[in-house]
Structure formats: C-alpha cells, structure tokens
Amino acid sequence: MRVHAVLFAYANTRSLERAIRSLLTLQGLLKQITIFQRSSSGSPDVQRILSVPGIHVAVHAMESSAGDFPEFNTNELAHDDFYLFMHDEDFLAARALAFNQPLHDGIQVISCPTSTRQPSYIRPLAIRCESFHKRCKGLGHLLQTDSEAALAAHLAQFTDDEILTLDTPLLMQTRRLNSHAHAQRVAYLHELSRPRAELQLATSQSTVGVMLSVYNASQWIEMALSSLASQRVPANQVLVIDDGSTDDSSSRIRAWLHRLPNAVLIETQNQGKARAFNTLLPHVNTDFVLELDADDWLDPHAIGHIKYLLTGIPEHSPLVYGNFRTWRKRTSGDYELFGIHAGHQISSPHELLSYALPLGPRVYRTSSLRAAGGFAVPSFADGRLYEDVLTIRNLMQRGDIVYRDFTVYNTVQHRRSITKQHQGQWAHFVHLYRAHFIDSPRHPQ
C-alpha cells in the first residue's frame, strides 16, 4: 500500500504542522501530501512546511472546487494506492501503523470511529484511489462547506463488503466536541453516509421539480446548483430565473446548465421573488415543485427522499414541509453547523402567524399552486417580503398542508439574506394582515 494524504481546511499553521509530523510515522508508505486550504486571512502559512524530505507536497485552493473535488495527479497511481483524508485539526494516532497490514483487493474503503466518546460515527478514513476517481464525483459544494461531510456522503457509494471498519479511531482531534450542535452534527454525518433503500423506489413515484429565483447571488449560487447536480436521484426539472442580477450570477448559472440536463434559465428585469416565481410557474411540468433559495443547498439524497415521502401524502394536500439545518460561516472560511430548525404541524392560517421559523423546505403540489393563482404578491413592501406566508395561507384554503419530520435542506446565516435585512418588518406585516389570517377559512366554502 502507498498512501497519498489529503488534508482539508486546517485552521492554523500549528495544527497543520502537527498533522504532517504525525503522517511521517507512516514509515515509507507515505508518497504525497496534498493540502486544500481556504483563501482567508486565518489560513495556515503553508510555505513554512512545504519542504518535507522525500515527500511531494502540493497545495490547492478549496474555493476552486464548486463542482467536483479538485483533480489529483492520477498519472502514477497504482492499484494499491489509497487516499488518506484528514480534516481541520486531525492528526494521525500512533496506532495508525495498522496501515501496514495487507488488504484484500476487494477492500475499497478503510473506515474507523471518529472518537471513543459518544456520540460518534464511522468515518471514511481512506479510499482506494482508483475507486475514488470512478465513484466520488460531484460533491464539491459539500467540500466547500464541510469536507468531512463530503467524504461521509461518498461512503454511501460503497457496499458493506468493500469497507474495512476498524474498531478504534486512527485519527485524533482537538476539536470543540462540547459544542451544543455536536450531537446534531454526528447525526448529520451518519445520515449522509448511510445507504438509502428508499432511493431505489424513486423512479416510479411522483415527479419533482426545483425552482430557484436568483438576484445578485454570485457568492452562493454555485453551491445550490452543485447540490442539484450531485443528487443521487435527479430532479425531473430545474427552473432558474435570474431576476435582474447586476453581478455575474447569470454567467455562473449558464456555466452549470450542461450538468443539469433538465434545467432551464430565464432572465428578466428585477421584479421580486414572488413575481419571478410566477414567471416560472407556467413552465413547471412536474407533479410537485420544491422552492430552493439561491443561497441554500440540498443533501445528496434530498430529491429521492422527497419523492419517497410524497407517496404517503393525502391526495389533495397542497404543500409538504419539514425541517432545515442552519449553518454559519466562520472567519476562517469554513462552515459550522449551528443547529436544526425543527418544524411542526400547523392546522389553520391563524397558526401560521405564530410559527416561530420560516416554514420550509416547501414542496408545492403544482396543480394546487396554479389553482390558488400562483405565488401571492402582497401590496406590502411592493410584494418583495413575506410572499411565502401569504402563499401558504392561500393554499391552506384549498386543503391541509402536511408536515413530515425530514431534514435534507441547508441554509446559511449571512447579513445579506432578505430575512436578516428585514427582521423588523415582520411585526408591521402581521399588524396589516392579521385579519386575512384570522378570518380565513381552512377550506373553500
């Protein structure tokens, strides 16, 4: 076996140096070290450690990897070569000499627990290079947000007999394991890595499309589109409208269209999200349509799982919703899981006004959305705020909306979000529109 170590997003020079020192204990197995670092001011000084005797060291920028993992040099890879993956503050434990043991040719992945403490999950530690390049593509959006999550998502591509699972951790960490979101993070990584039998049924179920309205989202849009391109079960249709962006959002979207064969881009003058979605609505040809914000992204199994859930939805339910994760971006450039915003069932338009969180993700029944007149355009704020609340209220007049306990949708906190910029407007909106919700019937009279 020869080992090509791949190190992702180390926060400082000290932790990176410690990782490299630990790798040198591999005693002749280590062939190359590839470092992917963020271009933030807090990134480690790689130039200090580029010289490792007898080992080739290469450095790449993580931000260049929106669509796929960056290309490795595959010219000299042998059948028994493995990529060893380390993240942030990982360093190799002394007992990692277990790499010296011979492996059966059928073994493609070496995995181990993340910790001896609970909660823990089985992480992919090393992947045979040939298998990595054949099977592990298209998750660059996860690489940018969370490299460990990207590898966890790849683990589902392998069968149990291809994975050698060790009993003890081979990597140590100096991470903040006491974070309030640590248990949720472990559950998230486990969810990404597990095989999903329900995806095998998705081809015979209801068709699901995705709608995106984009306005000056150049910083985020490629993550959203990358998450659509990497779906294990692809969306039946992707409709994107550039709502008069003045940045390069449109050109970034066009660059992705060839990777989304069912995608259509429409460009208009700026009109606001509700009007933009109403421009797209006549083009929707799927049974259901998921609303995806330009600065959000989906888990790789999201569309398949939604299709599976829709099989149990009452025939006349106009909307299905669930939970979503919230992330925040650190100054180092990486993303930290802040927590899961859990939804709950609401049964009347009046309850919608006291719903503590944005209701989402929102999966609309297309026929119901059209019958309700499309997306509501309130007179408030020229129709550019809380259109989702009024749209849901209109749909509740046509049937019961349905909550299901599922989490496949990701949002990131940032100052430019519409919700963040206009938090103070909600009370005014409720004051103006309360009667519309209190007096609104649940179903048509």
Same domain, 140 and 218: no
Residue 420 lies in a domain: yes
Q: Give the C-alpha separation, 388 to 391, whole Å.
A: 5
Asked if pLDDT for residue 139 goes beyond 90, the answer is no
Domain boundary among 163, 193, 223: 193
Q: Give the C-alpha separation, 277 to 290, whole Å.
A: 12
Q: Which pLDDT value is given to residue 445?
A: 34
Asked if pLDDT for residue 134 goes beyond 70, the answer is yes
Mean of per-residue pLDDT scores for the chain: 84
Structural domain containing residue 128: 2-193
For 14, what's the count of Cα atoms within 13 Å in the CB-facing half-sphere? 1
**Range name among 11-25, 62-76, 82-96, 112-126 with the lowest pLDDT average:** 62-76
Same domain, 378 and 434: yes
Q: Which pLDDT value is given to residue 355?
A: 85
Q: Name the pLDDT band for 289 (thresholds 50, 70, 90).
A: very high
Tokens found for residue 16: 């990176």
Q: Which pLDDT value is given to residue 346?
A: 93
Residue 64 lies in a domain: yes
Same domain, 77 and 182: yes
Q: Give the C-alpha separation, 306 to 208, whole Å.
A: 8
Higher pLDDT, 265 or 154: 265
Among 71, 77, 69, 154, residue whose Cα is nearest residue 111: 154
Residue 198 lies in a domain: no
Contacts of 170 (CB under 8 A, 6+ apart): 92, 93, 95, 96, 98, 112, 125
The residue with tokens 């062939």 is 31
- Contact indicator for 249, 216 with CB cutoff of 8 Å: yes
Tokens found for residue 261: 């064969």
Asked if pLDDT for residue 71 goes beyond 80, the answer is no
Residue 444 lies in a domain: no
Q: Give the C-alpha separation, 232 to 368, whole Å.
A: 28
Same domain, 187 and 209: no
Higher pLDDT, 219 or 178: 219
Question: 185: helix, coil or strand?
Answer: helix
Asked if pLDDT for residue 430 goes beyond 80, the answer is no
pLDDT of 247-268, one tens digit each? 999 999 999 999 998 999 999 9
Which amino acid does the sequence have at 416? Answer: R
**Range name among 3-7, 213-217, 289-293, 425-429 with the lowest pLDDT average:** 425-429
Higher pLDDT, 223 or 46: 223
- Kindly state the helix (H) or strand (E) to which residue 251 belongs, with its residue range: helix 249-254
Asked if pLDDT for residue 417 goes beyond 60, the answer is no
Contacts of 127 (CB under 8 A, 6+ apart): 82, 83, 85, 108, 109, 110, 136, 151, 154
Q: Name the pLDDT band for 211 (thresholds 50, 70, 90).
A: very high
Q: What is the mean pLDDT of residues 46-58?
A: 71
Same domain, 179 and 210: no
Domain boundary among 170, 193, 216: 193
Among 221, 227, 66, 256, residue whose Cα is nearest residue 144: 66
Q: Catalogue the long-range contacts made by 429-437 (C-beta closer than 8 Å, 24 or more residues apart).
A: 429/378, 429/380, 429/381, 429/385, 429/386, 429/389, 430/353, 432/380, 433/378, 433/380, 433/390, 434/353, 436/349, 436/390, 436/393, 437/349, 437/350, 437/352, 437/353, 437/393
Q: Give the C-alpha separation, 141 to 66, whole Å.
A: 5
Q: Which pLDDT value is given to residue 46?
A: 62
Share of the chain above pLDDT 90, in %: 42
Same domain, 111 and 224: no
Same domain, 239 and 125: no
Q: What is the mean pLDDT of residues 70-77?
A: 62
Q: What is the total count of domains within the chain?
A: 2
Q: Give the C-alpha separation, 70 to 74, whole Å.
A: 12
Same domain, 156 and 230: no
Residue 259 lies in a domain: yes
Same domain, 186 and 98: yes
Residue 445 lies in a domain: no
Tokens found for residue 316: 């006349």
Higher pLDDT, 321 or 77: 321
Asked if pLDDT for residue 47 goes beyond 50, the answer is yes
Asked if pLDDT for residue 41 goes beyond 50, the answer is no
Same domain, 74 and 37: yes
Q: Which pLDDT value is given to residue 444?
A: 44
Higher pLDDT, 54 or 215: 215
Q: Which pLDDT value is given to residue 64?
A: 58
Asked if pLDDT for residue 39 goes beyond 80, the answer is no
Q: Which pLDDT value is given to residue 286?
A: 97
Same domain, 26 and 156: yes
Same domain, 122 and 231: no
Asked if pLDDT for residue 198 goes beyond 70, the answer is yes
Residue 199 lies in a domain: no
Q: Tell me, what CATH number does 187's domain have? A: 3.90.550.10
Residue 443 lies in a domain: no
